Structure 1
Amino acid sequence: MNKLSREARAQILGMMVEGMALRAIARMTGASKNTIAKLLADAGEAFSDYQDRTMRGLTCKRVQVDEIWSFVYAKQKNVAGAKAAPEGAGDIWTWTAIDADTKLIPSWYVGARDGAAAQHFIGDLALRLANRVQLTSDGHKPYLEAVEQSFGADIDYAMLVKIYGEPSGATGRYSPGECVGAEQRRVEGRPDPKHVSTSFVERSNLSMRMGMRRFTRLTNAFSKKAENHSHALAIYFMHYNFVRIHQTLRCTPAMAAGVSAKLWELADMVVVLEEWEKSQGQKSN
């Protein structure tokens, strides 16, 4: 396996977060696809570990949560008839939380869209917060038990339940229902009605779908393995939180949240990867 320089690894990671496919990266950089796939896996593990350790004691005030759909190898309805479908094939959901003020994404979870996934996701989020927060979710019912189990009464929680009508204009398989209204439902505590919103997390999910080819609909760019899907998300969130300057904040979310005191570059991400490799007793690929 070829050994990549720090500059080459930074370049490849930059291409990954810009949504390029592994084969396209191989063609443009000259690195082998296996080397790039190994970098994807190692970087995903390293960045997931780093963010897990640093996203602690956060002083968020308003948090929004949501889920975004994708699939691995084949859509759920086609898994039974798929040839050599790997474990984890089918629909896969990414649960994300965002701080409405700093735009930091402190927690995410990749898995199903059921009660167990909701409890894992909300439980992880609760462990990262240092104070009482106002939380807003959509009307997905598993949130109710998950929030109760993880926060109890120590939260100001509301659901924003959207009301959909029939699709307007042209109709078809992918025509969504028209949102004709939204209902605020207080669940726990005293949430401020002015801040009961899921706009920021929904916009963040849109950026994910537009920025990562694995989330693009009606293409063959979907993830072929659940592990690689998770690794790609860890790399994306690392870049989003620490490297990418938010246009409104004029700094990175990690800087705005006090998680980082400096503006990172792609080379800093490689340093984190190298330190993780040393801790694992690995050699740089």
Structure 2
Amino acid sequence: MNVLSMEERVRVVSALAEGTSLRATARLVDVGRQTVTNLLLTVGEGCRCLLDERMRDLHCDVMELDEIWCFIGKKEGHLRDGDPAEYGDAYTWVAIDARTKLVPVHLVGKRSSEAGHAFARELRGRVLGAPQITTDGLKIYVEAIEAAFGSRVNFAQIMKTYAKDSADGASRDDVRYSRGRVTRSVKRVVIGAPDEDKISTSYVERSNLTTRMQMRRFTRLTNAYSKRLEHLQAAAALHFAAYNFTRVHMTLRVTPAMEAGLTDHVWSMEELITEALAASDAPPPPPLPPPRPTGGTFGRRPSRAAPLPGQLSLPGTGVSL
């Protein structure tokens, strides 16, 4: 990396941030593939440090959470004994603020209870107050968010029912990687009294599309998938740092970081690289504050809150969820 000028670094990182693969970037910029990989790992680690430093004490009142799939090395169904533990399914857990479109937290890992709890704890440590949170129906979120936030959250899930494909799905390209058409969607309150009009996962689902478009390793049916976990983690950190600080949101007309008050201007890619490398060399910031639950409210809602239309109930209890 020492032999690359800043102009070359900017060209390499800009190409990676726009969804170009490692080999294609090497051809376009006329540098070695290993040089591109080394720069990705270095700048990616710097972006991780930068996000850790800047994403603190945030006012994110309405959050949407989701996880986006890819794989490392080989797909889950092709795993064999002796394969590295990091191979197979990999999920990038994402939280987005509905107002500023800021992504304050992401986590690359498995779709496991351990990863879900770590994701929720980090979110709790970075946002202030008692936010409203919406997720899909993944059960991991229920315990993870209750453990991290206690009662200081208004939490709802959107339970979706999907149509079964008449061709059994596997042989059809249009449904191979999707869950089919949504036939029913129900809002379920889990903790607190969230605003029904703000119970949605639309923004985070749109963010997932941006992720697939701007990280080549998330593009399906190619050989550009991640071969190592550290490469995926570096690429994700670069992507979300570039998204937050360098890309003007079409609706906001500023970057998410500007809308959130974290900066007063649009960062250039050169500025992002400079700040990332400086953050990597600087002493680490203090640890995030641990969760301080004030008593969970899982399984019940305040009596003053009216049930939502179509809301599900706990079997045998008459209590709305």
SS at match of 2:59: coil
Q: Structure 1's 52 and 279: CA in aligned 2 closer, same or farther, altered over 3 A?
A: closer
Kept in 1: contact 2:45–2:280 (CA 8 A):
no
1:242 to 245, 265, 268: 245
Q: State the distance in 1 between where 2:77 and 2:160 align.
A: 27
Q: How far 1:167 moved relative to its partner?
A: 2.8
Structure 1 segment 1-285 matched on structure 2, within 5 A: 3-80=3-80, 85-167=83-165, 171=169, 172-174=171-173, 175=175, 176-276=179-279, 278-279=281-282
Kept in 2: contact 1:69–1:91 (CA 8 A):
yes
Q: Structure 1 stretch 252-261 or stretch 267-276: which is displaced more?
A: 267-276
Q: State the distance in 2 between where 1:145 and 1:107 align.
A: 18
Q: State the distance in 1 between where 2:15 and 2:5 align.
A: 15
Query: With structure 1 as the length reference, what TM-score do the two structures score?
Result: 0.93
Q: Structure 1's 195 and 168: CA in aligned 2 closer, same or farther, altered over 3 A?
A: farther
CA RMSD of aligned residues (A): 1.8
CA deviations over 1:16-74 (Å, ceiling 9, x no partner): 01111111111111212221111111111100011011100000110000011100010
Which structure has the greater CA radius of gyration? 2
Kept in 1: contact 2:49–2:276 (CA 8 A):
no
Paired AA for residue 277 in structure 2: E
CA deviations over 1:75-128 (Å, ceiling 9, x no partner): 0111217xx844411110110000001000000111111111110001100100
Structure 2 stretches lacking a partner, 5+ long: 284-321
Q: Greater share of helix residues, 1 or 2?
A: 1
CA deviations over 1:165-211 (Å, ceiling 9, x no partner): 22378953552322012111111111011010000001101111122
Q: Structure 1's 277 and 65: CA in aligned 2 closer, same or farther, altered over 3 A?
A: closer
Structure 1 stretches lacking a partner, 5+ long: 281-285
SS at match of 1:260: coil
Identity over aligned residues, as a percent?
A: 41
Runs of 4+ in structure 1 off by over 6 angstroms are none
Paired AA for residue 188 in structure 1: I
Q: Structure 1's 164 and 22: CA in aligned 2 closer, same or farther, altered over 3 A?
A: same
